[in-house]
Amino acid sequence: MIQDVSDRPTWYAICTNPQQEDRACSNLRAWGVECLNPKIKESRRNHFTGIAEVISKPLFPRYIFSRFELKGAFHKISFTRGVHRVVSFDGRPTPIDEDVIALIQSRVGSDGFVKIGASLKPGDVVRVKDGPWKALTGVVEREFKTNERITLLLQSIKYQSRLTIESHWVEKIS
């Protein structure tokens, strides 16, 4: 099964135990193994208080990526706490192309989170997805330097106003 692989480090997908992505990645790093655990921000509104909060979630729940030499580290990786198994097909661990990992890494922002979707730019028509302004539409007027907040020109019947809002609360209308 492992005899016909090269000795150079290669990226593999690792299936983790439920909600153990951070633990598995931390334990693999303790072994000196390179690990990628991409995360995204998700906004949730508390149903009781109505307060919005941003939480960190894995981009691929139960999966992380790790780079290691298969011959020398497969057994150690397979039995690391938090790891369920190395993703395999027909009994052979399946390598992940370097370009796929590079693409994910290129989308990681300075805050450590993966940016998903097209960025918004002035002139884009958007709809507010949640909160007190839910379903209102507007035009992006400007984006702040952090790319987390935008100013919208909201248009209503005979009224136009500005709203500064978190960019993840809006979606682009095509």
Looking at residue 155, its pLDDT comes to 64
- 10 Å CB burial of residue 56 (0-12, 13-18, 19+) is exposed
Number of other CB atoms surrounding residue 36 within 10 Å:
17
Is 138:151 a contact under the CB 8 Å cutoff?
no
Is 36:101 a contact under the CB 8 Å cutoff?
yes
Domain 10-106 has CATH 3.30.70.940: yes
55-79 residue pLDDT tens = 889 989 999 999 999 888 899 999 9
Q: Where do the structural domains in the chain lie, given as residue ranges?
A: 10-106, 125-172
Looking at residue 16, its pLDDT comes to 96
Measuring CA to CA, how many Å separate 40 from each of 37, 70, 134, 158?
Answer: 10, 29, 22, 38
Of the candidates 129, 121, 126, the one whose C-alpha atom is nearest the C-alpha of residue 155 is 126
Measuring CA to CA, how many Å separate 132 from each of 51, 104, 129, 136, 146?
Answer: 11, 33, 10, 9, 23
What is the reported pTM? 0.69
How far is it, in rounded angstroms, from Cα 105 to Cα 78? 24
> Over 89-152, what HEC string results?
ECCEECEECHHHHHHHHHCECCCCCECCCCCCCCCCEEEECCCCCCCCEEEEEEECCCCCEEEE
98-141 residue pLDDT tens = 999 998 898 888 778 887 766 777 888 888 877 777 777 888 88
Structure tokens at 61: 């729940």
The H-or-E segment that residue 26 falls in is helix 21-30
Q: What is the CA radius of gyration of the chain?
A: 21
Pairing status of strand 125-128 against strand 137-143: antiparallel
* Topology classification of domain 125-172: SH3 type barrels. (2.30.30)
32-41, 77-86, 124-133 — which is least confidently predicted?
A: 124-133
